[in-house]
Amino acid sequence: MEKEEVLEQEAEHFLDTISKNIERIREVKGMTKLDVSRELGFMYPDHYSRMELRAKGKHFNLKHIYKLSKILDVSISELIGSEN
């Protein structure tokens, strides 16, 4: 496997980890996808839901992660950290 392919797989795993962390923390905080979606300023929760589920290649960007850290009252490192 070429280095570029390995980096791509690792990046996808990283994005999956972030989404799983956000979902887990959101649920612990007792917030729905709709709650978080609205606080992020989305009119409809579908876009947020696709990012959390990583559907259709969607993922959170840095601005989303910053805002989510504030909305969920956690550090950015808790959102992007490994699930170990």
pLDDT in tens, 3-17: 999 999 999 999 999
> Per-residue pLDDT for 83 more than 60?
no
The closest of 45, 47, 44, 53 to 22, measured between CA atoms, is 53
Cα angle 25, 72, 76 (rounded to 5 degrees) comes to 85
CB 26 within 8 A of CB 36: yes
pLDDT tens profile 39-50: 999 988 999 999
Q: If you average pLDDT over every residue of the chain, what do you get?
A: 95
The larger pLDDT score, comparing residue 43 to residue 54, is at 54
pLDDT above 90 as % of the chain: 92
